[in-house]
Amino acid sequence: MEPTLSASLLGGLAATATTFVLIFLAEIGDKSQLVCMTLASRRRHQPVFWGAVSAFMVLNLLAVVFGAALALWLPERFIAAVVAVLFAVFGVLSLRAGAGSDEDCGDVTPRSGHSIFATTFMLLFFAEMGDKTQLAVAGLAGTFPPIPVWIGATLALGATSALGILVGSTLLRRVPLRRLHQLSGVLFLAIATLALSRALCPGTGV
- Specify the pTM: 0.68
Please tell me the predicted confidence (pLDDT) of residue 57: 95
4 found inside a domain:
no
180 found inside a domain:
yes
| pLDDT tier for residue 143 given thresholds of 50, 70 and 90 | confident
pLDDT tens string 159-204: 999 988 876 555 555 656 677 667 767 877 887 888 788 778 765 5
28 found inside a domain:
yes
**CA-CA-CA-CA torsion sign (29, 137, 24, 164):** positive
Amino acid at 60: N
Q: Which residue has the higher pLDDT, 147 or 86?
A: 147
138 found inside a domain:
yes
pLDDT tens string 63-110: 888 876 766 676 777 777 877 887 788 788 778 876 765 544 444 444
Beta-carbon contacts of 114 under 8 Å, excluding residues fewer than 6 positions away, are 122
Measured distance CA(1)–CA(4) in Å, rounded: 5
For the chain, give percent helix, strand, coil, nearest 5.
80, 0, 20
Mean pLDDT of all residues belonging to the chain: 77
Kindly state the average pLDDT of the residues 129-154.
86
97 found inside a domain:
yes
Number of domains in the chain: 1
Which domain covers residue 152, as residue numbers? 14-200
Please state the separation of Cα 133 from the chain's center in Å: 4
159 found inside a domain:
yes
Measured distance CA(194)–CA(72) in Å, rounded: 20
Please tell me the predicted confidence (pLDDT) of residue 171: 54
113 phi and psi angles, rounded to 5 deg: 90, -10
